[in-house]
Amino acid sequence: MKKILLTLMIASAVFTVNAQPPEGDAKPGDWYGEKVDPKESVALKDVALKLKGGSPDFESVKVKAKVVDVCSKKGCWITLELADGETAMVKMKDYGFFVPMAAIGKTVVIDGEVKMKTTSVAELKHYAEDAKKSKEEIDAIKEPQKEVRVTAKGIVVIE
């Protein structure tokens, strides 16, 4: 019985610690997930234009963009700046790593997959809740949204 109780306590502590974004300043050179060499990266906005023009998904590409937002609960997703106020959603491959809130405003290079995805209303509302949007903003989400989605294997801060 004591072993079960001890196991539950440890699992609970690990869950509590993991339920917050990691600490850190997100300084140039800091990386998350797999280590990424920023050489030969391309602007995410250029990749997004190609996708919107009908190009197939980019299964393996290094893209560069500015971080607009980070999940305030765990750091499990980020949004990146595109052209004309649009953003791209970034999810971490296999939920394998998280990014600190300090990454907001920083320029990063991401190694991963980039594709167009239709995001459901439920998922959009979930992201809005994570971003601490108001109830009115969340309730205003009524339709799925086609968006640029990046699945990151690794992220490095460059600026």
Candidates 14, 52, 54, 38; CA nearest to 108 is 38
Q: Is 132 within the bounds of a domain?
A: yes
What is the domain-level CATH number for residue 30? 2.40.50
Counting residues of the chain whose pLDDT is more than 90, the rounded percentage is 66
First to last CA, the chain: 52
Residue 16's pLDDT is 46
Q: Is 11 within the bounds of a domain?
A: no
Residue 130's pLDDT is 83
> Residue 23, exposed/middle/buried by CB under 10 A (0-12, 13-18, 19+)?
exposed
Distance of CA 48 to the CA centre of its chain: 16
Of 80 and 22, more confident: 80
Which conformational region is residue 31 in: left (phi greater than 0), alpha (psi within -120 to 50 degrees), or beta? beta
Mean pLDDT for all residues in the chain = 88
Instruction: In whole angstroms, give the CA distance from residue 101 to residue 67.
Output: 10
- pLDDT exceeds cutoff 60 at 27: yes
- Domain around 111: 20-157
Q: Is 10 within the bounds of a domain?
A: no
> Residue 159, exposed/middle/buried by CB under 10 A (0-12, 13-18, 19+)?
exposed
- Number of domains composing the chain: 1
Q: Is 8 within the bounds of a domain?
A: no
Instruction: Write the pLDDT tens digit of every residue in 41-83.
Output: 999 999 999 998 888 989 999 999 999 999 988 999 999 999 8
Q: Is 9 within the bounds of a domain?
A: no
Candidates 18, 27, 37; CA nearest to 102 is 27
Q: Is 65 within the bounds of a domain?
A: yes
Instruction: Write the pLDDT tens digit of every residue in 104-137.
Output: 999 999 999 999 999 899 988 988 888 888 999 9
Q: Is 15 within the bounds of a domain?
A: no
Counting residues of the chain whose pLDDT is more than 70, the rounded percentage is 87
Where residue 31 falls among pLDDT bands split at 50, 70, 90?
very high
Strand residues in the chain grouped as ranges (E): 31-33, 42-43, 58-70, 77-81, 87-92, 107-119, 145-157
Residue 151's pLDDT is 97
